Amino acid sequence: MAQCTLKPDLEFARELTEAGGESLKKCFQCATCSVACPLAPANAPYPRKEMVWASWGLRDKLRADVDLWLCHNCGNCSVIRRMDSPSALALFSHSICVLSVRTLFIVV
């Protein structure tokens, strides 16, 4: 059996929270968000897998994920999940995108 050692990037999790991803700490992997998302691919449950990767601090895996750009802030995931804010998970997705763009471009 193959083993994989994860090296979480705790700084990344902190950056996500500061960029608007407060819902990261509230996720307990019920998968309701993925069921509610009208754009989630059937073979890759979005945004559940992104929440797992973010909580583990897998920055590079998130940066390479094209599904991050699917979110258009419809709010279905948060309404069904009854988050504090109707757009809590959408803000989380947006915060990952913001951090990805910040690393791609140098703002002068």
- What CA–CA distance (Å, rounded) separates 106 from 1? 42
User: 47: closest CA among 59, 56, 58, 36?
Assistant: 36
**Cα angle: 47, vertex 70, 6; to 5 degrees:** 40
- pLDDT of residue 4 exceeding 70: yes
Condensed to tens digits (0 to 9), the pLDDT of residues 66-99 reads 888 888 877 777 776 555 554 566 677 777 777 7
Tokens 């929440």 belong to residue:
51
- Name the nearest CA neighbour of 96 among 1, 31, 9, 38: 9
Q: Is the pTM of this model over 0.75?
A: no
